[in-house]
């Protein structure tokens, strides 16, 4: 079998070399001072303007978050949560965990109906809403590192909500696709349709209730969201519809600072998010495994490299399933071992060069995390860097707009396991690390990551995409470090995904040579073609001239960069 790989690797790599060179000709955006890349050009411009007015990367990141809550309602939010990784130009990096939390009345059996698991209760009801964390997390990061007044940071989002913005073709299509699901909520229908008629590209979308909620946040900080009128409106919506969140739950929410996951790869420093995100651990584990191979020499897209990458993914996702969850509820997670070079060497010895491993569904297939997350990357003129991934879970979250408050609520409780003992072949599981409990944070795949070299910033990366996030971010790092791609080429390059279970490689259409795909099948891998994976937003610092290079993911509509 090894002879088979050797026989076909050279022509496959020759074919791919042409494709890679063509991708590399797609020049990245360049900027001398600061840059923001996010899911909408409007939000990116808000962040860039903040830096132009004297703000730093954290100021810009917070302003971008609030602007996305207006212009990218499928995932930008104040009713959801996420993670922020900050690497200052000097000093130690830090992360901010503003993942949603379960309300005080949550139980591990709350999605059972007459003893049977209910997908509707778990993912599409008021019970699926977790206590939001975005406002608290953004304020905590700003209070410790921001330089402009809080009101200045939030004001652009207020203006966009009140005065409106032009609906793009992408947003119009997105709203129309999801309106059947969300239309059962009158406040949602009122906000995202024109008296029941769908928005069209070129229309102006105004959101007055959202503007007033943002004003309260601008004036009072977190208290303007977690207390007072907004909190009351959320709690009333929950009480009317069988939800669990109370005003006490909202008032008790706190964002948390956590030490980042840190690793090295070929002399580059990897800085990423710790649990309750699984991303940082999995990325470091996979990179440690690949460090023992000649990834650059074997070339982008070769069957040998893809096989090794898949086997690394398989092992990291298996460990994710078995060990990871909310650190406050699972204090004994073996993080040091999972991210060690020694452990990676052990795993590497279990990878066969001439055949695929087999994933067995013992009990660790996890519930689906929606691809409708959003990521953005920020670097300022001083080279402070911020990587942020946040979400509502499904596209437009629960679909529930809080009446009178104008923002969508998440359905992140769906990221908890369905209930104890529910493991079956459909993907339900009931293992303890990620069962719901009062005030517990659900496990996530969000992976905001920063890469440095010799004490100097190199790269800011991240992506939406549910459980594919980890592998998308992993591959953007390989593309820059091993394959020496510029930021745009690293984003454009084809992607693969394997998550242990189901035991299948998902690959992007027309991204890899048919010969390569045939070899992977010959090795025993099951293959599944997909249209696209993720939407990576990458900034790379070119060390030759100290300019920033931005990679914009054209897989998604409306993505934009802004700089000054």
Do 234 and 294 fall within a single domain?
no
Q: What is the pLDDT of residue 17?
A: 32
Q: What is the 3-state secondary structure (H, E, C) of 17-31?
A: HHHHHHHHCCCCEEE
Q: What is the pLDDT of residue 114?
A: 87
Bridge pairing between strands 116-117 and 112-113? antiparallel
Cα–Cα distance, 199 to 297 (Å, whole number)? 51
* Cβ-proximal residues to 156 (8 Å cutoff; 6+ apart), any chain: 46, 49, 50, 63, 66, 67
pLDDT beyond 50 at 13: no
How many structural domains is the chain composed of? 2
Do 492 and 518 fall within a single domain?
yes
The arithmetic mean of pLDDT across residues 13-25, rounded, is 37
Q: What is the pLDDT of residue 420?
A: 78
The arithmetic mean of pLDDT across residues 82-103, rounded, is 98
Any domain includes 150? yes
Q: What is the pLDDT of residue 9?
A: 38
Q: Which is more confidently placed, 15 or 423? A: 423
Annotated catalytic residue: which of 20, 134, 188, 373? Answer: 373
- Give 505's strand partners: 527
pLDDT tens digits for range 373-424: 899 999 999 999 999 999 999 999 999 999 999 999 999 999 988 877 665 5
Q: Are 157 and 70 in contact (CB under 8 A)?
A: yes
Q: What is the pLDDT of residue 431?
A: 67
pLDDT beyond 50 at 19: no
Do 224 and 298 fall within a single domain?
no
* Cis preceding-peptide flag for 95 (omega within 30 of 0): no
pLDDT beyond 60 at 129: yes
Any domain includes 327? yes
Do 541 and 524 fall within a single domain?
yes
Q: What is the CATH number of the domain that holds 302?
A: 3.60.20.40
pLDDT tens digits for range 301-321: 999 999 999 999 999 998 988
Confidence of residue 516 (pLDDT cuts 50, 70, 90): very high
Bridge pairing between strands 268-272 and 116-117? unpaired
Any domain includes 307? yes
Q: What is the pLDDT of residue 421?
A: 65
Domain of residue 63, residue span: 53-256+387-415
- Of residues 536, 539, 542, 541, the one with CA closest to residue 554: 536
Do 203 and 310 fall within a single domain?
no
Which pTM was predicted? 0.93
What does the DSSP assignment read for 380-445?
-TT--EEEEEEE-SSTTTTS-BPTTT--BPP-GGGGS-SSTT---TTS----GGG---TTPBPPB-
Do 175 and 291 fall within a single domain?
no
Q: What is the pLDDT of residue 116?
A: 87
Do 546 and 449 fall within a single domain?
yes
Do 93 and 224 fall within a single domain?
yes
Do 558 and 548 fall within a single domain?
yes
Cα–Cα distance, 160 to 155 (Å, whole number)? 9
Cα–Cα distance, 296 to 290 (Å, whole number)? 11
Any domain includes 192? yes
Q: Tell me what the pLDDT averaged over the chain comes to.
A: 91
pLDDT beyond 80 at 481: yes
pLDDT beyond 90 at 257: yes
Any domain includes 422? no
Bridge pairing between strands 527-530 and 505-508? parallel
Any domain includes 160? yes
Do 124 and 151 fall within a single domain?
yes
Is residue 373 among the annotated active site residues?
A: yes
Confidence of residue 429 (pLDDT cuts 50, 70, 90): low
pLDDT tens digits for range 316-368: 998 988 899 999 999 999 999 999 999 999 999 999 999 999 887 553 343 44
- Of residues 23, 83, 182, 37, the one with CA closest to residue 558: 37
Q: What is the pLDDT of residue 363?
A: 35
Any domain includes 250? yes
The arithmetic mean of pLDDT across residues 264-276, rounded, is 98
pLDDT tens digits for range 210-244: 999 999 999 999 999 999 999 999 999 999 999 99
pLDDT beyond 60 at 89: yes
Give first-to-last CA distance, the chain, whole Å: 54
* Cβ-proximal residues to 135 (8 Å cutoff; 6+ apart), any chain: 78, 217, 222, 225, 226
CA atoms within 13 A on the CB side of 239: 9
Q: What is the pLDDT of residue 134?
A: 98
Do 8 and 126 fall within a single domain?
no
Q: What's 205's DSSP letter?
A: E
Q: Are 155 and 63 in contact (CB under 8 A)?
A: no
Cα–Cα distance, 351 to 489 (Å, whole number)? 29
Q: Are 494 and 301 in contact (CB under 8 A)?
A: yes
Do 343 and 457 fall within a single domain?
yes
Any domain includes 451? yes
Confidence of residue 434 (pLDDT cuts 50, 70, 90): confident
Cα–Cα distance, 287 to 301 (Å, whole number)? 17
């Amino acid at each position: 079998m090894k002879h088979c790989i050797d026989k076909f690797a050279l022509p496959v790599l020759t074919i791919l070399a042409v494709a890679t060179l063509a991708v590399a000709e797609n020049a990245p955006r360049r900027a001398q001072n600061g840059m923001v890349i996010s899911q909408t050009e409007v939000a990116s411009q808000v962040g860039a303007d903040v830096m132009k007015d004297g703000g730093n990367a954290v100021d810009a990141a917070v302003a971008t978050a609030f602007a996305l809550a207006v212009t990218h309602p499928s995932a930008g939010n104040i009713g959801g949560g996420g993670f922020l990784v900050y690497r200052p130009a000097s000093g130690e990096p830090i992360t901010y965990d503003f993942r949603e939390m379960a309300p005080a009345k949550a139980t591990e059996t709350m999605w059972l109906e007459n003893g049977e698991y209910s997908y509707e209760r778990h993912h599409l009801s008021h019970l699926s809403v977790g206590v939001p964390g975005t406002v608290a997390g953004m304020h905590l990061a700003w209070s410790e590192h921001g330089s402009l007044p809080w009101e200045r940071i939030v004001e652009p989002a207020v203006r966009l909500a009140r005065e409106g913005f032009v609906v793009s073709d992408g947003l119009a299509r997105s709203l129309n696709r999801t309106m059947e699901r969300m239309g059962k909520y009158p406040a949602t229908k009122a906000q995202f349709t024109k008296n029941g008629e769908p928005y069209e590209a070129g229309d102006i979308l105004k959101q007055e209730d959202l503007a007033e909620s943002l004003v309260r946040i601008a004036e009072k900080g977190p208290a303007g969201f977690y207390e007072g009128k907004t909190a009351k409106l959320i709690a009333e919506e929950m009480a009317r519809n069988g939800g669990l969140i109370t005003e006490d739950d909202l008032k008790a929410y706190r964002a948390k600072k956590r030490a980042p996951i840190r690793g090295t790869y070929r002399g580059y420093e990897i800085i990423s998010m710790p649990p309750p995100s699984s991303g940082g651990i999995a990325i470091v584990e996979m990179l440690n495994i690949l460090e023992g191979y000649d990834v650059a020499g074997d070339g982008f897209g070769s069957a040998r490299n893809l096989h090794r990458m898949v086997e690394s993914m398989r092992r990291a996702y298996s460990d994710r399933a078995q060990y990871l969850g909310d650190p406050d509820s699972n204090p004994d997670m073996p993080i040091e071992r999972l991210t060690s070079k020694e452990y990676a060497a052990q795993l590497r010895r279990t990878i066969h060069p001439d055949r695929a491993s087999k994933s067995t569904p013992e009990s660790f297939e996890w519930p689906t995390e929606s691809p409708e997350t959003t990521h953005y990357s920020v670097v300022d003129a001083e080279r402070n860097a911020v990587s942020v991934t946040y979400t509502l879970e499904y596209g437009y979250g629960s679909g529930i707009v809080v009446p009178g408050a104008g923002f969508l609520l998440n359905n992140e409780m769906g990221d908890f396991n369905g209930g104890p003992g529910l493991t079956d072949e459909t993907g339900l599981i009931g293992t303890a690390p990620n069962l719901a409990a009062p005030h517990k944070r659900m496990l996530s795949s969000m992976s905001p990551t920063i890469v440095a070299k010799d004490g100097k910033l190199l790269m800011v990366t991240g992506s939406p995409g549910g459980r594919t996030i980890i592998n998308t971010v992993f591959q953007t790092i390989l593309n820059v470090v091993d394959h020496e791609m510029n930021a745009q080429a690293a984003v454009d390059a084809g992607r693969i995904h394997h998550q242990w279970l189901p035991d299948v490689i998902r690959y992007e259409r027309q991204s890899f040579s048919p010969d390569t795909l045939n070899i992977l099948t010959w090795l025993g891998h099951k293959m599944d073609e997909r249209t696209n994976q993720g939407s990576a937003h990458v900034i790379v610092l070119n060390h030759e001239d100290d300019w920033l290079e931005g990679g914009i993911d054209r897989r998604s509509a409306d993505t934009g960069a802004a700089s000054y």
